[in-house]
């Protein structure tokens, strides 16, 4: 009886532990702990802003150096099997004329929908408009899943950044121009995210 009781207790422990181990082996979603997204701004975008008399600045801690804007990654989560997830950033861009100041900030790369996109909070002359889809993201040729990490680093390079229809309409409205159109080439992004399995 004692042997049977011992065997049953062991079996009970295994029944409790095995599902946990199996779930751990199947874990595919990682937590994003930090990193940076670098966007090389296109010459066409920079030229368009200059021709409209719009000065480009940054929301701290973003910096622009030699035409590349750095947006610190602050959090998020990504499923490596499907590439679905959110990558959250601090900082942002400021587009300014003597009469109008537009802040685009708190960017989130969102790959949970039908197509990857980047949303951001839009603030016009100090008034929060809301969170809009600012840019459409075009994945590089050869992109495939599952995603692979190099140690704790998850990286994706050569992502095209294009202006969304919502952002184009908003910018044309606030600056009273017709220069912005959906699909306008904003630049190319490289995403570097440090991830944690726990």
What pLDDT, in 10s, does the model give residues 64-76? Answer: 999 999 999 999 9
SS3 label, residue 5:
helix
Q: What is the mean pLDDT of residues 3-24?
A: 44
Average the pLDDT over each of 21-30, 84-93, 117-126 and give the range with the smallest value: 21-30
pLDDT at 1: 52
Average the pLDDT over each of 5-19, 145-159, 160-174 and give the range with the smallest value: 5-19
- What is the Cα–Cα distance from 164 to 137, expressed in whole angstroms? 9
CB 95 within 8 A of CB 104: yes
Q: What is the mean pLDDT of residues 32-54?
A: 97
pLDDT at 185: 98
CA atoms within 13 A on the CB side of 97: 14
Question: Percent of the chain, pLDDT > 90?
Answer: 85
CB 120 within 8 A of CB 134: yes
Q: What is the mean pLDDT of residues 32-37?
A: 98
Q: Is the pLDDT of residue 182 over 60?
A: yes
Q: Is the pLDDT of residue 34 over 80?
A: yes
Read off the DSSP letter of residue 126.
T
Q: Is the pLDDT of residue 14 over 70?
A: no
pLDDT band at 96 (very low <50, low <70, confident <90, very high): very high
Q: Is the pLDDT of residue 27 over 60?
A: yes
Q: Is the pLDDT of residue 19 over 70?
A: no
SS3 label, residue 111:
coil
Global pTM value: 0.86
Angle (CA) 96 169 62, round 5°: 40
pLDDT band at 198 (very low <50, low <70, confident <90, very high): low
SS3 label, residue 193:
strand
Tell the residue number behind the tokens 């400021």, with chain if given: 94
pLDDT at 197: 75
């Amino acid at each position: 009886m004692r042997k049977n009781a011992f065997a049953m207790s062991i079996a009970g422990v295994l029944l409790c532990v095995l599902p946990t181990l199996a779930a751990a082996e199947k874990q595919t979603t990682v937590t994003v702990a930090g990193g940076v997204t670098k966007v090389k701004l296109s010459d066409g975008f920079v030229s368009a802003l200059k021709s409209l008399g719009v000065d480009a600045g940054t929301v701290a801690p973003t910096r622009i150096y030699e035409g590349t804007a750095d947006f610190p990654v602050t959090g998020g989560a990504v499923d490596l099997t499907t590439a679905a997830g959110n990558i959250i950033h601090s900082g942002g861009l400021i587009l300014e004329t003597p009469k109008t100041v537009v802040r685009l900030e708190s960017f989130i790369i969102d790959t949970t929908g039908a197509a990857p996109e980047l949303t951001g909070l839009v603030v016009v002359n100090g008034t929060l408009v809301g969170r809009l889809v600012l840019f459409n993201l075009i994945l590089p040729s050869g992109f495939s899943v599952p995603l692979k990490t190099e140690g704790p680093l998850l990286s994706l390079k050569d992502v095209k950044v294009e202006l969304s229809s919502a952002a184009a309409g908003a910018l044309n409205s606030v600056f009273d121009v017709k220069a912005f159109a959906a699909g306008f080439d904003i630049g190319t992004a490289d995403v570097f995210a440090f991830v944690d399995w726990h």
